[in-house]
């Protein structure tokens, strides 16, 4: 195997693929990165058996030559050393060559590295997914769906199913839902998908976080295909394959209150700043409790009290308050997490009493919901 490649292109691909490689794997060869050279381009692969990432660099694209002097072949290189070597090479052009003894030479300018490779035949075959049954989403929409839900997955392995985001696609509506049983984040978007429907699949939060880091903010389409135990996200130069979690996701729709007793309309930034300030004194507490009370004339009071540290209170003018008077306590962390991903100027907060879950949603988008359970303070 032999080829010459642009260093910047190689660095980008190596960084993407590294997100799937773990040093803590039961299969030793998976600590390496597979490099495959074909006449049309180079494919790099990394996998930790939970997620697998393939990054493709075409030999030529839009009149630009990325890879030349290709002699076909493949090799697995130790991922601990290869990325650092590539990053620190002196010149733009990198030549990589592997001989029949699995010895690899990396040349750039006057620098020359020799690495021992491993036989690519021993690298596990990635499952090939049927992509006939797939649907498409713009990359930037997929990224915002992930961002607005994945933060609410559980970090506790006691209920593994809650460490993932639940996806369903029914009647051309795609929904993402995540909950750790103290809060819930959910968003639904219309998609054009007549061929594909699924009731419930759960994708690990870790997988979606890595996918979100790799995808560029663009309007390029991502093709998504689902099988029994795998989901594939595919762009022009990237295949991102993740396992699907086993088990039944809890029925979350019944958690969402039908009616509300008190409704606030408030500027998102103002509410974030006010809760952020109140939480300064609540940090030592286990769940950073902040209290919200409605007053007259569209004013709410946000307070926090930490017996050892002190007390803070602030009055905030909101756009409107409708319904009953209310005093409620909640985790400032959960509230800030929810507000910061909403990307809207104003939100509605619907309360159904001091001990019932409350809902935050954008004024103009009922399809996005953040639900938080209050904290009981005595």
Q: Identical fold at 134-253 and 256-372?
A: no
Distance separating alpha carbons of residues 331 and 374, to the nearest angstrom? 7
pLDDT at 3: 97
Q: Can you give the pTM of this predicted structure?
A: 0.92
Distance separating alpha carbons of residues 84 and 69, to the nearest angstrom? 24
Return the closest-CA partner of residue 107 out of 119, 93, 121: 93
Query: Other CB atoms closer than 10 Å to residue 114's CB: what's the count?
Result: 9
pLDDT at 197: 87
pLDDT at 130: 66
- The CATH superfamily assigned to 2-122 is DNA Polymerase III, subunit A, domain 2 (3.10.150.10)
pLDDT at 139: 96
Ordered by start, the domain boundaries in the chain are 2-122, 134-253, 256-372
pLDDT at 365: 85
The answer regarding whether domain 134-253 maps to CATH 3.40.50.720 reads no
DSSP designation for 118: B
Distance separating alpha carbons of residues 144 and 246, to the nearest angstrom? 25
pLDDT at 138: 95
Burial of 5 (0-12, 13-18, 19+ CB in 10 A): buried
CATH no., domain 256-372: 3.70.10.10
Please write down the HEC assignment for all residues of 48-80.
CCCEEEEEEEECEECCEECEEEEECEEEEEECC
- Give the mean pLDDT per block of 10 residues along the chain (378 residues): 96 96 90 96 94 95 93 96 95 96 96 96 83 86 97 93 96 96 96 86 97 91 89 94 95 90 96 95 76 95 89 96 95 96 95 94 92 86
């Amino acid at each position: 195997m032999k080829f010459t490649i642009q260093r910047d292109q190689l660095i980008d691909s190596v960084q993407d693929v590294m997100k799937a490689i773990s040093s803590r794997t039961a299969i030793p060869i998976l600590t390496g990165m597979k490099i495959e050279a074909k006449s049309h381009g180079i494919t790099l692969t990394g996998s930790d058996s939970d997620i697998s990432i393939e990054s493709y660099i075409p030999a030529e694209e839009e009149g630009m030559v990325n890879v030349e002097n290709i002699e076909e072949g493949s090799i697995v290189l130790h991922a601990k050393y290869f990325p650092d070597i590539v990053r620190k090479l002196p010149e733009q052009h990198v030549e990589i060559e592997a001989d029949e003894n699995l010895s690899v030479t990396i040349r750039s300018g006057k620098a020359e590295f020799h690495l021992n490779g491993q036989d690519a035949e021993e690298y596990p075959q990635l499952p090939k997914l049927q992509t006939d049954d797939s649907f498409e989403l713009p990359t930037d929409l997929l990224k915002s769906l992930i961002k607005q839900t994945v933060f609410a997955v559980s970090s506790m392995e006691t209920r593994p199913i809650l460490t993932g985001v639940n996806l369903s696609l029914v009647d051309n509506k795609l929904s993402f839902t995540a909950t750790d049983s103290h809060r819930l984040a959910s968003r639904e978007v219309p998609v054009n998908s007549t061929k594909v429907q699924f009731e419930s699949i759960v994708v690990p939060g870790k997988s979606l976080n890595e996918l979100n880091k790799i995808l560029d903010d663009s309007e390029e389409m991502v093709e998504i295909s689902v099988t029994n135990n795998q989901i594939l996200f595919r762009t022009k130069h990237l295949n991102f394959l993740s396992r699907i979690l086993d088990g039944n996701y809890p029925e979350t729709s019944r958690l969402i209150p039908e009616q509300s007793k008190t409704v606030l309309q408030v500027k998102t930034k103002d509410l974030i700043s006010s809760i952020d300030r109140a939480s300064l004194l609540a940090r030592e507490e286990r769940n950073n409790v902040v209290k919200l009370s409605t007053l007259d004339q569209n004013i709410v009071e946000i307070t926090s009290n930490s017996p050892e540290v002190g007390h803070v209170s602030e009055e905030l003018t909101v756009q409107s308050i409708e319904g009953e008077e209310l005093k409620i306590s909640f985790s400032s962390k959960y509230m800030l997490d929810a507000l910061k991903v909403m990307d809207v100027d104003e939100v509605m907060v619907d309360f159904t009493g001091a001990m019932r879950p409350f809902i935050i949603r954008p004024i103009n988008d009922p399809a996005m919901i953040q639900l938080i359970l209050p904290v009981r303070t005595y």
